Amino acid sequence: MNIEYSNNLDNNTMTVTVFLQPRKKARQPRIKIGWPEVSALVKQNYVPPNTHTLGKCVERLKIADNEYTSQCIINWVFELHKKTIKKTTAAKKTSKSKTRKN
Residue 93 lies in a domain: no
Residue 14 located in a structural domain = yes
For 25-45, what is the mean pLDDT? 92
Q: Please report whether residue 88 resides in a domain.
A: no
**What pTM was estimated for this model as a whole?**
0.74
Q: Is residue 41 part of a domain?
A: yes
Query: Is 57 inside a domain boundary?
Result: yes
pLDDT for 97: 65
Q: What tens digit of pLDDT does each residue of 46-95 get?
A: 999 888 999 999 988 999 999 999 999 999 999 999 888 777 766 666 66
Number of domains in the chain: 1
**Residue 101, in any domain of the structure:** no
In a domain, 97, yes or no: no
State which residues form the domain around 32.
2-82
Contacts of 21 (CB under 8 A, 6+ apart): 1, 66, 72
Residue 99, domain member (yes or no): no
